Chain A
Amino acid sequence: MNNYERTELIENYLDGELRGNDLEKFELQIQTDKVLKEDLFLQREIRKVLTSDEFDLRMKLIEIGERYQAEKKIVKKRKPVLTYTVLSLIVIAVFSSVFFFNNRLTNDELFEKHYKHYSSETLTQSVEISYEDIYINALRVYDKNQYNEAITMFNQVSVSSPYYYSKEYFTGLSYMELKNYNEAIKHFKIVIDSNESLITESTVWYLALCYLKTNQNQQAINQLNKLTSNDSDFKVQANEIIEEIKE
């Protein structure tokens, strides 16, 4: 008996479809056939799992866990870059205040000063490719600076995907690279409104820069104010921009 025939026979037994001689024969067979007995046990246990309330919950938790692991990798790998960026900005800010005191920057200048391309390279190197091929491939295209193509691929990631909010984030970044800030704003807002993502703080930052670039100063300040708490990675930059705009 091959694997398939064994599966079929056990299924027929568990579904109560074996009758008469067939049933008697099967019950005798499980006494002597060790593999059949083991598979019967396993198939019965699998059924129990599949029919339990717990199964749906487990599936949800595994999905959430995978998403957190993927997103955590983005945040984790970004931190040293952020630290260097923030330190550099402090030096630049001190330098600027000495030599260019009272010289107010325009929104475009502020944007150019603060906007740094966000690389997804670390993510594409670390996430297992087998899980969400579309999303991973889209990130690769994004890393090659092919933003229009990346947007088309990100659009193929479904709402039910665990990477849905991450792809919205990268779609927003792609639009920023294409200088289509109004379109970028729409995608960043989806991420922020969801409140489901670990990358919310970064999203707020880029959304603020988009508002800045499109001269929506009050909206920019509203977002930047969210980043002025002590534990924010963008605290220094956010305060600096707020000061500049308010002057």
Chain B
Amino acid sequence: MYNDNQILIGLKAGNYTVFDFLYSKYRDKVIEYVVKNNGSETEAEDVLQDSIVNVYKRLKISDIIIDKNFDVYFTTVYRNNWRTIAKIKNKRTFTDEFPEDLIFEEIDFYKEYQYAQFHRLTAIKFKELKSDCQKIIEQYYTHKKSLNEIAYLMEYENVQSVRNKKHRCLEYLRELIKNHTNYKNLSYE
């Protein structure tokens, strides 16, 4: 159990246990809300993940001032998220009353939605890569290691071998994303 302050600190720090706590606390609530409002369980999972990411991103920019408590705040976040997606998908049949003034920020919803979709798709496809591919891509792009360092860390014969492998892995990842229905539907460009 975490209090509101611990949740915010844990989220900002990227604490796995806090993410897990939020997931277990809100999973059923989000599913209930989304399904009740014309969505599916899969869409509800996406809404929950996007809502946690949204709060995390806000916290990275500045501290969040919560009026009542985290539960009320987070409920507003995930409901707004689903309203956004439902609007995009023209699923406007809402069964609950949700005052417009609770939407706390005007954003380019559609762009934000596509951005989240693409992030999720990339992460899912990345997980499908073999572990050596995941490692080489992570080392190069996420941890910004040089090809020399990667050759040493992963015991490759030389830099050229690392370069070739990196290109092969990236090519594979790109094709996985490109050929996925969600990407085709995104009209991301």
Question: A residues within 8 Å of B by Cβ?
Answer: 3-4, 6-8, 11, 38-39, 41-43, 45-47, 49-62, 64-65, 68-69, 196, 198
Question: B residues within 8 Å of A by Cβ?
Answer: 14, 16-17, 19-20, 23-24, 27, 45, 48-49, 52-53, 56-57, 60, 118-120, 122-124, 126-127, 137-138, 141-142, 144, 166-168, 170-171, 173-175, 177-178, 188-189
Residue pair A49, B20 in contact (C-beta under 8 Å): no
B32 to chain A, nearest CB (A): 14
> In the bound complex, how far is the Cα of B27 from the Cα of A61, in angstroms?
12
Chain B residues in 8 Å Cβ range of A41:
189
Residue pair B141, A50 in contact (C-beta under 8 Å): yes
Chain B residues in 8 Å Cβ range of A198:
24
Residue pair B119, A54 in contact (C-beta under 8 Å): yes
> In the bound complex, how far is the Cα of B142 from the Cα of A47, in angstroms?
9
Known A-B contacts A46-B177, A56-B142; the reply to A7 vs B170 at CB < 8 A is: yes
Residue pair A42, B123 in contact (C-beta under 8 Å): no
Chain A residues in 8 Å Cβ range of B138:
50
B178 to chain A, nearest CB (A): 6
Chain B residues in 8 Å Cβ range of A54:
53, 56-57, 119
Residue pair B167, A57 in contact (C-beta under 8 Å): no
- Which residue in chain B gives the minimum CB-CB distance to A43? B174
Chain A residues in 8 Å Cβ range of B144:
51
- Which residue in chain A gives the minimum CB-CB distance to B120? A58
B167 to chain A, nearest CB (A): 5
B49 to chain A, nearest CB (A): 5
Complex A-B: 30 CB contacts under 8 Å: A4-B167, A6-B171, A7-B171, A41-B189, A42-B177, A42-B178, A46-B122, A46-B174, A46-B177, A49-B118, A49-B123, A50-B122, A50-B137, A50-B141, A51-B141, A52-B119, A54-B53, A54-B119, A56-B14, A56-B142, A57-B19, A57-B52, A57-B56, A58-B49, A58-B53, A58-B120, A61-B49, A64-B20, A68-B23, A196-B17
- Which residue in chain A gives the minimum CB-CB distance to B46? A65
> In the bound complex, how far is the Cα of B189 from the Cα of A108, in angstroms?
68
Chain B residues in 8 Å Cβ range of A58:
49, 53, 119-120, 123
